[in-house]
Each structure stands twice: as C-alpha cells, then as structure tokens.
C-alpha cells in the first residue's frame, strides 16, 4: 500500500515536486490496538503526561504522543510503565509481522 503523493510548493527554481506524506506508524498502531496511556505514581511525571480540558482529564499516549480523553489504561511506578515501540522499531515490527504467514 503506497502513500498518495502530494504536490509540494514551488521551490527556488520555480518547479513543483511530488513528495509522499510522512507515514506515522504510531498512529496506525494506536488506531489498530488503542492508545497506550499510563499514569505514573511520580507527581512530576504525571503532570507532564496529563492535562485538564473542558471535556475532562487527558493523558498523553506513550506510542503516538497524542492526548487522549479519559482515564489512563494503566497506572503504577514509572519504572514499570509498558514499553511501547515507536519510530523505526515499530515500523520494523510491523513489516516483520506482514511477512510472516
């Protein structure tokens, strides 16, 4: 499955180029498996990973970085937070999974 190309703005030479939009493997994984939110017991870390909106409390997803409305999926000491794949490691895992029958 290839990404659709997008026409970029004209550069210094006046030519337009076709570029593929960046792929966000993290968003694909969160869309398929759900966001990985975690509330650490350490107050300073919890404050950095959470926020308050008019709709309620939000927690930052450890995988994609988006803020998610609602209670976190897990809680506990920071050193016991789930390890989630991101970036190249996540892409490699997805590609490896696709090749396996």
Task: Please report, for the chain, the start and end positions of each structural domain, with discontinuous segments joined by +.
Answer: 23-99
Higher pLDDT, 89 or 101: 89
Mean of pLDDT values over 47-53 = 96
Per-residue pLDDT band at 2 (split at 50, 70, 90): very low
Asked whether the beta carbons of 50 and 37 are under 8 A apart, the reply is no
Asked whether the beta carbons of 83 and 52 are under 8 A apart, the reply is no
- pLDDT score, position 31: 87
**Cα 69 from Cα 11, distance rounded (Å):** 40
């Amino acid at each position: 499955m290839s990404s659709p190309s997008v026409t970029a703005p004209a550069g210094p030479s006046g030519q337009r180029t076709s570029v593929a939009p960046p792929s966000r493997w993290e968003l694909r994984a969160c869309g398929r498996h759900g966001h990985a939110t975690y509330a650490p017991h350490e107050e300073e870390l919890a404050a950095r990973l959470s926020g308050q909106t008019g709709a309620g409390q939000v927690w930052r997803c450890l995988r994609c970085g988006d803020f998610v409305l609602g209670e976190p999926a897990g809680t506990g000491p920071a050193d016991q937070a789930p390890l989630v794949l991101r970036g190249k490691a996540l892409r490699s895992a997805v590609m490896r999974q696709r090749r396996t029958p």
